[in-house]
Amino acid sequence: MKKFFLLLPLFFALVFTGIAQETFTNPLLPSGADPYSFYKDGYYYYTHTMGNRLGIWKTKNLANLKTAEAKIIWTPPTGTLYSKEIWAPEIHFIQGKWYMYFAADDGDNNHHRMYVLENASPDPMQGNWDFKGKVADSTDKWAIDGDVFEHNGQLYMIWSGWEGDVNVQQNIYIAKMKNPWTIEGPRVMLSGSDFDWEKHGDLPGNPSHVNVNEGPQILKHDNKVLIIYSASGCWTDFYALGMLSTDKNADLLNPKSWVKSPQPVFKASPENGVYAPGHNSFFKSPDGKEDWILYHANAKPGQGCGTFRSPRMQKFSWNPDGTPNFGTPVKEQQVLAIPSGQTRSRAKAKLPKNPIFEGWYADPEGVILGNKYWVFPTFSAKYKAQVFLDAFSSKDLVNWKKHPRIVDTSAIKWANMAMWAPSIVQKDQQYFLFFSANDIQSAERNKVKDDTLGGIGIAVANRPQGPYRDYLGKPLINHFYNKAQPIDQFVFQDKDQQYYIFYGGWGHCNVGKLNADFTALTPFPNGDLVKEITPQGYVEGPTMFIRNGKYYLMWSEGGWTNGTYKVAYAVADGMMGPFEKIGTILKADENIATGAGHHSVINVPNTDEWYMVYHRRPIPNFDRDHRVVCIDRLYFNADGTIKEVKMTFEGVKRKLK
């Protein structure tokens, strides 16, 4: 498959302790291409393309993938021919052992080949996954999307490959296997792009067009053996499923034994909002009475092979001639019954609490307003799409309600993009929302004018959920003082009730004194409008709180666009410092997430219980804007220093009032 910008899902490692639901809706996960599952001993083992590693979900009900136990089982070593672009994994149990098949390369698509891992443990979530090597026929040509099956006592592999060494057409091939990791004998081509519906494959570069047959899956019913495959480029809306069929006693290695359907057997449904459905697999319900198709699709036209593909499933039936009737892809959010024979225990699910709400968000400010907890985050997207802010409220720090578009650029005339890092203050029965906008640059750094309109502004409302209106009609801070970019503002009220604003990007942290009505900054006694208090290692995202009379300044380090992002802190006797860095307390955890940072802190009222509200990047993650908001406990040592924060999937373990 010629796959561009591989789909990267939110990968939850969660525990599901029971099943209470009897219906579900698609998609099963927010994202996930090339879905595959294998059923054994009452559990479905699910996997999909993750790009740079392999993972498995374990569940009794595929409708519960969002809350299923999951695990990263293998990450490739660097610098090999199989270190990158890991596609279309499949998990199988063959001859008493588990096998994971996948395609990978070294960053050059021409080098894509198939590989396999082996695990002798009865449970694929346990034991060791050992790299067995490459799976190839004697030609060793480009190969992806391998599917292994047994028929009449013989093991076979089917896959998608090139005839030669040039990317012009992907064909479906079959070969016998000597054992689960070795192909025996020559490959045989079963299908190429013969019909017009299989030939949608124009590309903007080189090559300019590719015909595609890929993702073959075996399906057996009565006396028939079927291969269901995907055709046309996955980058087109014409991606669809085709079918090859033969008799169960036929010679599977004889191309003449197979009959090809002249029409697709499953294709896009614009009326249902489903586009480019394909790269599927099949499973039976737990009682064996129902047949289901598991596939990925897009929700809008033109989304191609990108991060929009999501896994879906639906039941299908059989035609009188023994061929499958997949029907039409169902609408998202259409209520469907779960597969038959599903155990219906009344035990409750241990639901995921991190991330605390759905969607891509970053830079969260967590506060208490009235009798509710609130989180005000940045909408994590491309700068030009960041034209609004949402808010979320909770009575217990567990269940969250979304308040969409509490403010947008239509209310802030000087703002046109990059609305970031909201910080909120309640004062005189009004709510003041500080934010930055327009990502203004400095002449020194980017050769643009210093007076570009943008910076830190204020919006005001009568309720925390808005709607907010522009308070000043212009930015509060529009200039680079002490080389600090005017972003990442945090408003802090000191013990004397005076409000201050901490802010700054590009490695510089400033603090300014707000006047009584928040219309301007009040100069310090020496005439400075702001003072720089930058601690060692500071990059951006300052926040502050007081505990036991000490002032804790916290900030983010590293690069926000990647996994190096982390949180450090310092402690001082006063708000202005001096602040000497003590250490890093939040950083990447390869088993959970990377890029953790730009946080805030919540103290549960009348307790010494503290929580960190932060964003992080799910694993795997290759998109800089795929960030989610999470909450984890903040603990202190006896001397007041902060213990390293452990990222979790459970988050807040109990409801807090």
- Residue 279: its H or E element: strand 275-284
Pairing assessment for the beta strands 169-179 and 211-221 based on DSSP bridges: parallel
Question: Among residues 337, 370, 385, which one ends one of the domains?
Answer: 337
Catalytic residue among 90, 540, 557, 625: 540
**Look-up of token digits 């079918």:** 243
| Phi and psi angles of residue 375, each rounded to the nearest 5 degrees, phi first | -130, 125
CA nearest to 480, candidates 457, 500, 451: 451
Count Cβ atoms below 10 Å from residue 514 Cβ, excluding itself: 23
pLDDT at 342: 78
Which residue carries 């960030």 as its tokens?
627
**Whether 365 and 318 share a structural domain:** no
Residue ranges of the chain with per-residue pLDDT less than 50: 1-20, 345-350, 447-448, 450
Q: How many CB atoms lie within 10 A of CB 592?
A: 20
* Burial class of residue 636 (count of CB atoms within 10 Å of its CB; 0-12, 13-18, 19+): middle
For residues 16 and 67, the answer to whether their CB atoms sit within 8 Å is: yes
Beta bridge partners of 549: none
Q: Report the alpha-carbon distance of residue 405 to residue 138 in Å, rounded.
A: 59
Q: How far apart are CA 611 and CA 162, in angstroms?
A: 54
Half-sphere exposure of 47 (CA within 13 A, CB side): 27
Is 379 within a domain? Answer: yes
Name the E strands within 302-355: 310-318, 324-325, 336-337
CA–CA distance, 152 with 44 (Å, rounded to integer): 25
- Taking the C-alpha atoms of residue 618 and residue 11, their distance in angstroms, rounded to an integer, is 6
CA-CA-CA-CA dihedral for 455, 368, 519, 429, to nearest 10: 140
The verdict on 325 and 402 lying in the same domain is no
| Residue showing tokens 């491309």 | 382
| 283/377 same-domain check | no
- Cα separation, 410 vs 387, whole angstroms: 9
- CA dist., res. 488 & res. 503, Å (int): 5
Domain count along the chain: 2
What tokens does 388 get?
């609004």
Residues 308, 374, single domain; the answer is no
Q: Where are the alpha helices (H) located in 383-492, listed in sequence order? A: 443-446
Asked if residue 577 and residue 496 are part of one domain, the reply reads yes
Rg (CA), the chain: 28
Query: One-letter amino acid identity for 25?
Result: T
Question: Is 363 part of the annotated catalytic residue set?
Answer: yes
- Classify burial at 411, counting beta carbons within 10 Å of its beta carbon; exposed 0-12, middle 13-18, buried 19 or more: middle
Q: Does 64 fall in a domain?
A: yes
Question: What digits encode the pLDDT tens for the residues 228-269?
Answer: 999 999 999 999 999 999 999 999 999 999 999 999 999 999
Residues 298 and 152 in one domain: yes
- Please give the span between the terminal C-alpha atoms of the chain, in angstroms, as a whole number: 51
In a domain, 651, yes or no: no
- 322/392 same-domain check: no
d(CA 314, CA 295): 9
pLDDT of residue 654: 77
CATH of the domain at 319: 2.115.10.20
Which of 237, 363, 365, 488 is the catalytic position? 363
* Order of strands across the sheet that contains 310-318: 275-284, 291-298, 310-318, 324-325
Q: Please indicate, yes or no, whether residues 379 and 250 belong to a single structural domain of this protein.
A: no
pLDDT tens sequence across 265-312: 999 999 999 999 999 999 999 999 999 999 999 999 999 997 789 999
Note whether 209 and 328 are same-domain residues: yes
Residue the block writes with tokens 């990047």: 617
**One domain for residues 210 and 134:** yes
Mark whether 318 and 381 lie in a shared domain: no
Report the C-alpha dihedral over residues 394, 398, 399, 401, rounded to 10 degrees. Answer: 40
Query: The domain containing residue 430 runs over which residues?
Result: 361-634
Residue 62 main-chain phi, psi, to 5 deg: -65, -20
In a domain, 322, yes or no: yes
User: Which residues face 466 on adjacent strands?
Assistant: none
Measured between alpha carbons, how far is 205 from 371 in angstroms, rounded to an integer?
57
